[in-house]
Amino acid sequence: EAGVAQSPRYKIIEKRQSVAFWCNPISGHATLYWYQQILGQGPKLLIQFQNNGVVDDSQLPKDRFSAERLKGVDSTLKIQPAKLEDSAVYLCASSRLGDSNEQFFGPGTRLTVL
C-alpha cells in the first residue's frame, strides 16, 4: 500500500512570501490531518478533514493559513504571508474513518522562512 505523499520536501522562502504544500493521503482514508512541528516540539494539529469537510481548525491561524481538501482526497495547505515563526516541518497524516488508532504520516515539508 502506498504511503502518504507530500510535496515539496523542502522549501525556503522570505518572510511575507506565500507558500503552498500538497498532500495525497493513503487511498481510502477519509480523515486527513495537517500538523505543524517546530524543532524540539511535538506535532501540533492545525486542521483536520473528514472527507472534504473540516472537523477541527481551532488551532489554525486563519489570518494567514488556509487549507482545502477538494473532492475529499488531496489537500493543500497555504501560508500567506509567511512569518519567521512559521519555520517548521509541516506533516500530513491520514487515517481510516472512525478508526481511533493509527495515523499514517507523510515525510513532511521542511519550511524555512528567512
Number of residues binding to other proteins, judged by CB under 8 A: 24
Which grid coordinates are listed for 86?
512559521
CA distance 28 to 96: 7
Q: Which stretch binds other proteins (CB under 8 A): 11-19, 27-35, 67-75, 78-86?
A: 27-35
Q: Which stretch binds other proteins (CB under 8 A): 13-21, 34-42, 66-74, 77-85?
A: 34-42
> Which of 27, 42, 63, 71 is close enough to bind other proteins by CB under 8 A?
42
Q: Which positions from 51 through 90 interact with other proteins, judged by CB under 8 A?
A: 55-56
Q: 12 has which bridge partners?
A: 112
Shortest reach from residue 13's CB to other proteins, in Å: 20
Burial of 87 (0-12, 13-18, 19+ CB in 10 A): middle
Q: How far is CA 40 from CA 2, 21, 31, 85, in A?
A: 29, 22, 26, 14
Where along the sequence are the contacts to other proteins (CB under 8 A)? 31, 33, 35, 40-45, 48, 50, 55-56, 91, 95, 98, 100-103, 105-108
